[in-house]
Structure 1
C-alpha cells in the first residue's frame, strides 16, 4: 500500500517516512509498550493504518521537519548559485579561452609542417649543390621552425598541467564546502527522524494496540477522536411501497370463457 499524501510532507520525503515506520514495526518486539503486536493486529495491519494516518503522525514533528527542509533548501540554493557563477565565468572567458586554445593547437602543427618542408628542401638543395647559399638558408629556417614547434608543444603541456591542478583544487574546495553544509542538514534530518518516531509513529502504534475495538478488520483506530478523525457514513433511507400514498383499488382481471366447439358426426345435424 502506498502512503497517502500529507499536506506538510513533501513527496520526496515519503519514502523516508515509510522507512522509519518499517524500522519501528520491524523492531516492535524489542519495545515493551508494543508487545501486543501480533495478538489482534499484526505488523502489516499496523503499517496500513499508519500509512492512512500519515498527515496526523507527521504533524507531531512539524517543527523539526520545517527546520530540516529549510536547511536542505539553503544547501540546494547554494549549490545552484555556485553552478550559475561557474557558467557565467565560463561564458565571460570563453572567447579568450577559445583563441588561446586555437593558438596552442595550431602553433605546433604549423611550425612542425614548416620545419619538415624547409629541412627537406634545404637538404635536397645541398645534396645537389653544396655550395648553394639558398639551401643552407632553408636548412637553418627548418631548424628554427622545429625549435618553435618543440617550444609550443612544451607550453601546451604545461598549460594542461596547470589547468588540471586548478580544477583539482576547485573540486577539493567544493567538496570541503559540501562537507560543511550537509553536516547541518544531517543534524536537522536526524532531529526530524527522532521526533517523528518518538512523538508520532510510536504513540500512534500504542494507541492502535490499546484500542479494544481494533481487530483484524480495523483500518484506523478510533480510540482517540482528537488524534484520528472518524469518517461517518450512513446509507440512504429507502422506504418501501407501504410508506407511500394509499394505493387505490387494484384492477381485476378475468380470463375469457372459452368453450370448445360442439362438433358431431353426420348424424348430429343442427336443427
Structure 2
C-alpha cells in the first residue's frame, strides 16, 4: 500500500534533501561543470518527485505516522491536559511580564523609601519613622536584586521554549521517545534508499567506494 507524503511532513523531506545534497559525492558532481544540473534545479526536481522518492521509505514512514498518531489527537496537535489548557498559556505569558515589572516596582519603592527615610533622618536623627523607611528601602533593594535574577531566568526559559517550538516538528514537542525514534528511522531510510539513489541517478554518479 502506497502512503503519500503528508503536507505537514514535506518540511522534513526538504530537510533530508538538504542533507543529501551536501553528501560529498553529490556535492562534487554538482560542482563538476555546466553539464550537470545545478543545485536549484536538482532540488526543484526532487521536490516535484517527493511522493515517488518517499515511497522507498514507505514502511518507516507508516511506522512514524502510527507512532505520531499515538501521541496526537486527530487534529494533529498534542492533547493538553485540562489544567494545562487553562493555565499553560496564561502562565507562560505572565512569567516574562512579571520578570520585568517586579524589579521595576521594587526598585521604585526602594528609591522612594530611601530618599524619604534619609531625608527625615537628616531633619530628625532620632525619628523612628526614618529608621522604618530606611529599613523598608534596603529591603526593597534586596527584593529588586532577587526579582531581577528571577526575571532574567524567566526570560531565558521563555526564549528557549520559543526557539524549541519553532525548530523541528512542533507536534512532537511532547518529546515522545517512540515517535522521535520512528521519525529518525524514517529520515535515515529516506536519505539512504530514496534521496541519495535519486540524486546519483540524475547526476550519473555512483556511491563512494568503501576505501
TM-score by length of 2: 0.46
Structure with larger RCO (C-alpha < 8 A, sep 6+) = 2
Structure number with larger C-alpha Rg: 1
TM-score by length of 1: 0.36
Structure ranking higher in helix proportion = 2
